[in-house]
């Protein structure tokens, strides 16, 4: 599937193609086309996304549509040195700035750059795998709007969930498929008092990277999701409190809304780590 600086993958369930991101300042965006869909052990071919007929640099692009893209074959997928992207770009593959999170949802593949765009604060790309139509759905205009997104997922209602990995207070943001962004939750993890029996540094982790779901490092088989407070919702299903229950224990929806509700404010949440030890990145 390629020997390069892997970050994340997203799988198209229709074709079984695996879309792979690369965390490099001059990255390529790859897809792995399996010989037998659903069985990666049977091998396949590696390709890199190409915009137009020659190498195109997306690193400073704002919101724009590229039209239909094509895919460049990568012949040497296991080089001795880190040269897969250089091979791909020599064949016309596009250049990206630090590709990070990836997710399949809404019949689309979404990928993120942490420091791409005009303000170098991140981009969200959208690919239609059925038509290969490709666009920049959103580019951050500044750190006060979106500060270096990293991990991401798509909510059951279709909205994108973006996790920051910048500096200062870190937020989870919602992003609609129309490109409207809003703050959803702030990382308010303050563990300066320590966590007895847990392998977590005694510190305030407000500036630490968010992740779509916090999982425990436990001897028990399988990950367990830590809960969030206020409320006792599972971390993998972020909770938006209803206006009638600002403490978060009421009847608010369990999933991210597709569009922001002006009556609701950003929610500060803290981690309840009683479910097992975990370590913020």
Chain-centre distance for alpha carbon 168? 19
In the block, residue with structure tokens 């250049």: 95
| pLDDT (tens digit per residue) in 51-107 | 999 999 999 999 999 999 999 999 999 999 999 999 999 999 999 999 999 999 999
Backbone angles phi, psi at 88, to 5 degrees: -60, -45
Q: What is the spatial distance between Cα 241 and Cα 218, in angstroms, rounded to a whole number? A: 30
The domain ranges of the chain are: 6-105, 143-281
pTM exceeds 0.85, yes or no: no
Average pLDDT on 15-21 reads 98
Which of 105-114, 139-148, 161-170 bottoms out in mean pLDDT, i.e. has the lowest?
161-170
Share of residues in the chain with pLDDT > 70 (%): 74
Residue 210: per-residue pLDDT: 59
* Dist. CA 12–CA 129, nearest whole Å: 8
Mean pLDDT value across the chain? 79
Question: Quick one: DSSP state of residue 207?
Answer: T
CA distance 126 to 217: 33
Sheet holding 171-175, edge to edge: 149-154, 160-164, 171-175, 181-187, 267-272, 227-229
């Amino acid at each position: 599937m390629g020997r390069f600086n892997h970050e994340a993958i997203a799988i198209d369930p229709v074709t079984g193609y695996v879309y792979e991101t690369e965390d490099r300042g001059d990255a390529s965006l790859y897809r792995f086309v399996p010989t037998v869909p659903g069985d990666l052990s049977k091998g396949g071919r590696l390709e890199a996304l190409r915009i137009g007929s020659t190498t195109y640099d997306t690193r400073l692009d704002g919101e724009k549509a590229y039209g239909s893209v094509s895919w460049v074959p990568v012949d040497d997928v296991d080089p001795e040195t880190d040269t897969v992207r250089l091979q791909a770009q020599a064949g016309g593959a596009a250049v990206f700035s630090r590709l990070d999170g990836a997710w399949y949802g809404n019949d689309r593949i979404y990928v993120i750059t942490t420091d791409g765009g005009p303000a170098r604060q991140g981009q969200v790309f959208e690919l239609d795998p059925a038509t290969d139509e490709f666009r920049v759905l959103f580019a951050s205009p500044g750190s006060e709007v979106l500060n270096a997104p990293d991990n991401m997922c798509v909510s059951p209602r279709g909205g994108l969930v973006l996790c920051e990995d910048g500096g200062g207070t870190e937020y989870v943001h919602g992003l609609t498929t129309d490109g409207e962004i809003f703050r959803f939750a702030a990382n308010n993890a303050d563990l300066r008092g320590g966590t007895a029996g847990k392998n977590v540094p005694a510190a305030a982790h407000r500036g630490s990277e968010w992740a779509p779901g916090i999982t425990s490092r436990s001897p028990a088989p399988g990950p367990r999701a830590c809960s969030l407070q206020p409320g006792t919702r599972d971390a993998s299903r972020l909770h938006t409190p209803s206006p009638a229950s600002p403490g978060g224990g009421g009847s608010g929806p369990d999933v991210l809304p597709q569009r922001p509700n002006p009556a609701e404010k950003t929610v500060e949440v803290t981690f309840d780590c009683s479910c097992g030890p975990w370590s913020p990145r």
